[in-house]
Amino acid sequence: MNYRTLGDSGVEVSEVGFGAWVVGTDWWGDRSEKQAIEMVEYALDQGITYIDTGDVYGHGNSEKLIGEALAGRRDEVTLSTKIGYDFYNNPQAGHGELPKRLEPEWIRTCVERSLERLDTDYVDFLQLHNANVDEVTPEVVETLESLQEEGTVDALGWALGPSIGWLAEGDRAVELDFDAIQTVFNVFEQTPGRHFLDTIAREESETSVIARVPHSSGLLNEQVTPDTELEAGDHRGFRPDEWYETGWEKVEALRFLERDGERTMGQAAIQWLLSHDAVASVTPTFRTTDDIDEWAAASETPPLSDEEVERVEELYRENFGITRDDGMDSLRSSVDGADLVDTGKQNAGQ
């Protein structure tokens, strides 16, 4: 495993991290709490030291299980959690989005409760969870910086969403010199990730990018094929049919990235993300120990050549030869403005 640093914070993360939103939830099928804890422990044994959870996942249950899994191993881990949703006073309605709160006192309350569940007295990396740009007031920023000064939090970030991500929010995170932005980013869904890379380069910023959904919900790791029947409750079942039907065609166009015995398609998808210097870590969704073995090893597989990267860029500009609707989400932002959205699409090569 190789490691990178979040921004200029000095906080080190493994290039492949553990996205723990599946721990303590049933969004990707049933899994016992014992199995979830064992998965985290196994990931640590494979060199995965970046653990990314959130207080709303399982309404605190993910944090609780992560805390149990890290018992006696806290010093080995770069631990991240997210705050911003008020699940304490609102029931979860299916996969719908809960009300958000970011008042300074509420932030402190949420952090205190997270620390208790995680059984730790600090988190290495605290992220705002899907906050809109107008919700992150000077008072919010001051509160976050106070938590840093107090030693409760080391690095600050902004997890963008829902859907593909929020353009204005990511740009604002760079402006505020946050240590990292987290967004959906993969070979097929390059918007707004590429825009943020451009913003970071243009502003000469140290902000890093955390890439989630690196395999485009099962396409790039080929866990969802034309023969796959998704289990009840599997979140990938919420993707439109066009997503997968055109996605399988796109995968075939990327076969040149595979190297027999040296690099699988799933590993190549991770290496493509890591070819961007600003990407600090990639958080696949692990469901089995075989997933962990393969994707943890991606960090040390042959990196993509310049020629391979350029060919991927060309394919993306041409939408991999797909001319019909592919079901991919369009760019979203919490603020209105055609100029803002157009900029994101242009920077994404669309």
- The pLDDT, as a whole number, for residue 91 is 77
The DSSP string of 129-188 is: ES--GGG--HHHHHHHHHHHHTTSEEEEEEE--STT-BHHHHHHHHHTT-SEEEEE--SS
- The pLDDT assigned to 336 comes to 56
At 21 the pLDDT is 84
Domain ranges within the chain, ordered by starting residue:
3-347
Q: Which pLDDT does position 350 carry in this prediction?
A: 30
Give me the DSSP letters along 209-231. Answer: EEEE-TTTTTTTTT-S-TT--PP
The full length of the chain comes to: 350
- Supply the pTM of this predicted model: 0.90
pLDDT at 347: 39
What pLDDT is recorded for position 335? 74
Give the model's pLDDT for residue 219: 92
Residue 167 CB burial class (10 angstroms; 0-12, 13-18, ≥19): buried
Domain 3-347: which CATH number of 3.30.1490.20, 3.40.440.10, 3.20.20.100, 3.20.20.70? 3.20.20.100
For the chain, which residues score pLDDT lower than 50?
Answer: 337-350
